[in-house]
Chains A and B, each alone.
Chain A
Amino acid sequence: GAVVSQHPSRVICKSGTSVKIECRSLDFQATTMFWYRQFPKKSLMLMATSNEGSKATYEQGVEKDKFLINHASLTLSTLTVTSAHPEDSSFYICSAPLQIPGPFWEADTQYFGPGTRLTVL
C-alpha cells in the first residue's frame, strides 16, 4: 500500500532555533499534502494544506510566518518551525491523499506519516 514517511521521528531543540520536518510520499505522487498537529490526548488539528508549486493554505489561527511550508516536489513537503518556543512542542503529522480520478472528490484515502515529536527546551 501507499506509504508516507516523516523525518525526523523525534527532535529536541533549544528555544529560538528552527526545525525542519520532512514529509515524503514514497510510492505515489501527491500534489497536496496536509499538516496536522496533535496535542496530548486530543484530536488532530489541521494546520495547513501544502500545495505543490504554489503557496500553502493555512487554517485560521495558524501563523504562516512561524510554520513555513514548502512543497518542493510531487513527493516532498517540508514544515519548518521557525524560532521555536516551548509552546510549539507537539506531535506533528503529515498526510497525503491517494487521489482517485473521477468527476467527484470520491473518498480518497489519506495516508499518514508516523509523526514527528518536537520538544522545544
Chain B
Amino acid sequence: GNSVTQMEGPVTLSEEAFLTINCTYTATGYPSLFWYVQYPGEGLQLLLKATKADDKGSNKGFEATYRKETTSFHLEKGSVQVSDSAVYFCALSDHGSARQLTFGSGTQLTVLP
C-alpha cells in the first residue's frame, strides 16, 4: 500500500535559518505529491504540489522537487520566518485511489525570533 514517511519533529530554528523537512514515499503507479501546512487553530492548507517526476513545486519561498529515483519530496526554504511556525504534512495521491490522500505524520516547526 501507499505510505509517506516524514522526518520526526519537532524542529526548532532561528529566524532566517535554512529549513529542510525530509519526506519519502512508497506508492504504486505515479503518485502526485503534496505539502500541506497547518497553522495553529486552522485547517490544512495546500502549500505546494508536484504531479510528475522532476517537477518542482514552490510557494511562499518553500520548494520541493519530486525525485522518483529516491522516492523523495523534501521540503526546503532558504530563510524561515516566525510566521512559518506550523505543522507541515507531506502527502501523496495515487491516481488509482479516487484521489484520497495518504499523509505523513507531520512535522512541527517552530521558528524563534
Interface positions of A (Cβ within 8 A of B): 4, 6, 32, 34, 41-44, 46, 49, 93, 95, 97, 99, 104-115
Contact surface of B with A, Cβ cutoff 8 Å: 32, 34, 36, 42-46, 49-51, 89, 93, 95-96, 98-106, 108
Q: Main secondary structure on chain B at its contact with chain A?
A: strand
The answer to whether A34 and B100 touch across the interface, beta carbons within 8 angstroms, is: yes
Q: Are B44 and A97 in contact (CB under 8 A)?
A: no
Q: A107 to B45, Cβ gap below 8 A?
A: no
Query: Is A109 within 8 A of B46, CB to CB?
Result: yes
Instruction: Return B46 CB to nearest CB of chain A, in Å.
Output: 6
Do the beta carbons of B32 and A112 come within 8 Å of each other?
no
Complex Cα distance, B99 from A95, in Å, reads 11
Pairwise interchain contact A95-B101, C-beta atoms closer than 8 A:
yes
Question: Of A42, A110, A115, which is in contact with the most chain B CB atoms at under 10 Å from its CB?
Answer: A110
Residue from B44, B100, B102 in contact with A93 in the complex, judged by beta carbons closer than 8 Å: B44
Give the chain B neighbours of A104 by CB distance below 8 A. 95
Asked if residues B95 and A110 are in contact (CB atoms below 8 Å), the reply is no
CB pair A43–B106 under 8 Å, yes or no, is yes
- Taking a contact as CB atoms under 8 Å apart, the answer to whether B44 and A32 are in contact is no
Chain A residues positioned under 8 Å from B36 (CB to CB): 112
Partner of B101, one of A42, A46, A115: A46
Contacts of B104 in A (CB 8 A): 43
